Structure 1
Amino acid sequence: MLLEGWGRYPRFESECVRLQSPCTLPGIMAGTRGLIARGNGRAYGDAAIGLRLTLGALGLDRMKGFDPQTGRLTVEAGVLLSDILASFVPRGFFPPVVPGTKQVTVGGMIASDVHGKNHHRDGSFGDHVERLTLVLPSGETVTCGPDINPDLFRATVGGMGLTGVITEATFRMKPVETGWIRQQTVVADDLAGALRALDDSDAATYSVAWIDGLSRGARLGRSLIFVGEHATRQEVAAELPDADPLPLAPAGRLGVPFDLPALTLNKASVAAFNEAYFRRGAQKSGKPFLTHWNPYFFPLDGVDRWNRIYGRRGFLQHQCVVPPATAHAALSEILDRITRSGKASFLAVLKKMGAGGSLMSFPMPGYTLALDLRVTDDTFALLDEIDRIVVAAGGRLYLAKDARQSRQTFEAGYPNFGRFNDIRSALGARGHLASHLSSRLGI
């Protein structure tokens, strides 16, 4: 069947098999080459499309054990984050790290070593995984973790499914008193102000900046910074006395029923949206207020199939991270190139990061900027220019979002890829486990 990532670019034909039980996997693994596992298809590019065979993991959807005393949760790899939230927020537990969508599987979160708004304090999701079960290319099933087969564990977390197929994982949920977030909005007039605001929020659990990607001149990089903490029961009772302290996500969602015309997202429409969004956010700045966990962590999940907004050709997400010393210069140049190109990035998000913990993890100390650009004939040349800025700044691109970076850009950003490939070779995974991303980048 024809497969695509969330960005809907590129598209490839692949044979597909849906896994229903981990018991069937060893035989498939031992007898097939050119395969990769796929969760819910939320990798933006070609990371979850096998060169020959794609293994659908959504059938591995059982939650196998939970200890409320420790928060330790064991699930199969196809369990969705949305199901974990639905099951455990009412019990007073929240995942240690969540990405920008809850429509992802646990296996995909580990393979991508996802990060969230708390990376500066709590690291990536992989930093909280205690055990995982992995089926190797030979068909052998092994357990690994920080203290069991640690080299294999460090290669698998963030390894984009290229060391084996994850079938099960254990990690710790964290207790929370409520499902509400005490949010404070900070207004930054430019990029330097946004970086300062993120630095000033180091002690906060969560922080993220929305950037007006079309602002120019003295307002280049003007931003709204959203700082958050899990609210206490006392705070919720005082401010929202009739509210459920541990609410579920809203049941209904708006949807985009068809591919919108390509010109829907243009410079004028995005500029109008950005101005309205900035003004509305600025009005809420200063005094903290309570917001439901769902819109704070997953604002885009409120619109089903929002990727259709970009039209049938799809879009490219470019997410980079650059070190603190070069961040202001590099990110200023990137934003300036985007605005001068006339292209409208509907999404522009800035976060602060700490160190990465695995061989192929994306995070590094610095700042990460994510941009969405509609696929057009000249988008690729613009992103090649931006890649050169990132490389010169000592940064790298996120593999889970990538659909088009060059092998040279990848190798410049991931100094441990040689060690990673050595581990893959020792496992017999080279050529055996292969996605279109790994083939494109020579992994």
Structure 2
Amino acid sequence: MLTVSSWGRLGSWPHDAVALTDREAIPGALAARPGSAIAYGMGRSYGDVCLNPDGGLWLTAGLDRFIDFDPELGRLRCEAGVQLGQIQRFAVPRGWILPVTPGTWMATVGGAIANDVHGKNHHARGTFGDHVRRLRLVRSDGSVIDCGPDLRADWFAATVGGMGLTGIVAEAELQLMPVAGPWLDVETFPYDDLDGFFALADGSEGDWEYTVSWVDCLAGGRGRGIFMRGRHSTERGRPEPAMGARSMPFVPPMSLVNPLSLRLFNLAYYHSGRLKAGRSLAHYRPFFYPLDNLADWNRMYGPRGFYQYQSVVPRGTGRDAVGAMLAEIARSGEGSFLAVLKTFGEATPVGLLSFPMPGVTLALDFPNRGPRTLALFERLDAIVLEAGGRLYPAKDARMPRSLFEAGYPRIAEFLPYRDPKLGSAMSRRLLGD
């Protein structure tokens, strides 16, 4: 048995783990194994979508090979355990880049598909699944299903965002996006309240590929913060920045994120952002993946780990709902310094259970302080539910089933595509299996 945790480090549990390293052998391996299991790549999901305590895990990080690349069309075929960083390092010097990428490049292609991840440019490019042309799915009975947006599209829609429950993704073909180089033109603006945020977001989405903001969740419902927008630059020839040299070397006995450190950090970050306002040139790595510059940063939350709470609410209710959540967080004294606020575009989700919807999304990290943290989440749940929103399963470790069912109206369409021998702690919590 292998003891495994997810990125939130809320606990670690024994798993019967089997490594997959040969994609041709996956059908036989799945057909021969009894009991339930779930795929586990790099463990970058925050909650329990990739965990199956006392059950089976299929370790997919060894499926890490490129299969084919068309340099003229930007089509990459690769195994599901390939990390997004491998693709970026290979593709950007050749004039291509992933069209959509989440906040870490250490996630795998299979994980990006299973969670239908999004990035800073949903308004322009949709989700990761929008750029998957084909995928090969292996079922637990050994059968193989090739699918895509124009081939067995029903299986494709169930698998993209399907939390790894329709089968094991063995390989995928991705459409990359052309770029002139690794640099982005960036503009940074402070904003004083949520009205300022929405004005900046609405004024940027027509001309800027990427938009994102940090919000000070301790400023009450006011919602002051720092807004950034970026687009690819034609700049060439500059030396690339060094990244990844620092790490959090140990787990402190208690969380370093506490009311005092939060207030000091948020105050310093906001005023530093005001001083840095204006135009700059940024390399794509620190712009897309700022936290990857500190390895094992999740250790700073101490031995009890942390939760991430990410919601999306419709635009019509978004201003009031986000303000209500920020006010509730400020009253609770819990707080988060990794607080991200951004808008989603109008694109129709690819997957039956894809998270994004037209509206505004707020993502926050909270140290695990037990019942008081969970009580705060219940109050935030009520705001999200009333606003007609939903939570992100890839980040979740405690969403009640009732909120999942209210937020994902296509669950009944998804269930016929579930693999009977694939299950996780999350599927048991949210789907009742």
Q: TM-score, normalised by structure 1?
A: 0.93
1:382 aligns with 2:384: no
1:267 aligns with: 259
Match of 1:313 among 297, 304, 317: 304
Range 364-373 or range 188-197, more displaced: 188-197
Residue aligned with 2:394, SS: coil
CA distance in 2, matches of 1:32, 1:126: 30
Question: What letter is aligned with 1:212?
Answer: D
Residue aligned with 2:158, SS: helix
Residue aligned with 1:14, SS: strand
2:22 aligns with: 21
CA distance in 1, matches of 2:383, 2:314: 12
How many angstroms does 1:197 deviate by?
1.3
1:215 aligns with: 219
How many angstroms does 1:261 deviate by?
3.4
1:368 aligns with: 361
Question: What letter is aligned with 1:436?
Answer: A
Residue aligned with 1:229, SS: strand
1:243 aligns with 2:208: no
Question: 1:387·1:409 contact (CA, 8 Å) conserved in 2?
Answer: yes
Question: 2:140·2:422 contact (CA, 8 Å) conserved in 1?
Answer: yes
Match of 1:229 among 228, 231, 252: 231
1:47 aligns with: 49
Q: Deviations over 1:311-361 (max 9, x none)?
A: 010000000000001101111111111111111212100111123221000
1:301 aligns with 2:310: no
Residue aligned with 2:268, SS: helix
CA distance in 2, matches of 1:387, 1:277: 28
Q: Deviations over 1:278-316 (max 9, x none)?
A: 111112223x21011111100000000000010010000
> Hey, which bits of structure 1, 4+ residues long, moved more than 3 A?
none
CA distance in 1, matches of 2:368, 2:255: 11
Q: Deviations over 1:397-434 (max 9, x none)?
A: 0010000011011101000011111222xxxx23x110
CA distance in 1, matches of 2:141, 2:286: 43
Question: What letter is aligned with 1:316?
Answer: Y
Aligned ranges 1:87-166 → 2 under 5 Å:
87-166=90-169
Question: 1:10·1:46 contact (CA, 8 Å) conserved in 2?
Answer: no
2:413 aligns with: 419
Q: Deviations over 1:239-264 (max 9, x none)?
A: xxx614xx4x6354210111123252
How many angstroms does 1:28 deviate by?
2.7
Question: What letter is aligned with 1:374?
Answer: P
CA distance in 1, matches of 2:414, 2:35: 19
Flag the 1:10–1:330 CA change in 2: closer, same or farther, 3 A. farther
RMSD: 1.4
Flag the 1:392–1:100 CA change in 2: closer, same or farther, 3 A. same
CA distance in 2, matches of 1:252, 1:342: 32
How many angstroms does 1:268 deviate by?
1.6
How many angstroms does 1:121 deviate by?
1.2
Question: What letter is aligned with 2:92?
Answer: V
How many angstroms does 1:188 deviate by?
1.0
CA distance in 1, matches of 2:24, 2:350: 31
Question: 1:397·1:410 contact (CA, 8 Å) conserved in 2?
Answer: yes
CA distance in 2, matches of 1:399, 1:211: 22
Question: 1:187·1:282 contact (CA, 8 Å) conserved in 2?
Answer: yes
1:348 aligns with: 339
Match of 1:392 among 373, 382, 386: 386
Residue aligned with 2:187, SS: strand
CA distance in 1, matches of 2:220, 2:38: 43
CA distance in 1, matches of 2:310, 2:255: 23
1:439 aligns with 2:428: yes
Question: 2:244·2:292 contact (CA, 8 Å) conserved in 1?
Answer: no
How many angstroms does 1:167 deviate by?
0.6
Flag the 1:252–1:350 CA change in 2: closer, same or farther, 3 A. closer
2:327 aligns with: 336
CA distance in 2, matches of 1:321, 1:58: 30
Question: 1:207·1:226 contact (CA, 8 Å) conserved in 2?
Answer: yes
Residue aligned with 1:280, SS: helix
1:167 aligns with 2:159: no
CA distance in 2, matches of 1:297, 1:394: 29
Q: Deviations over 1:48-67 (max 9, x none)?
A: 11351000001101001111
Residue aligned with 1:43, SS: coil
Residue aligned with 1:28, SS: helix
How many angstroms does 1:267 deviate by?
1.4
1:76 aligns with: 79
CA distance in 2, matches of 1:350, 1:70: 34
Q: Deviations over 1:385-406 (max 9, x none)?
A: 1111101110000010000011
Give the unaligned 5+ runs of structure 1.
237-241
Match of 2:398 among 385, 398, 404: 404
1:239 aligns with: none
1:34 aligns with: 36
CA distance in 2, matches of 1:252, 1:306: 11
CA distance in 2, matches of 1:252, 1:129: 28
Question: 2:36·2:423 contact (CA, 8 Å) conserved in 1?
Answer: yes
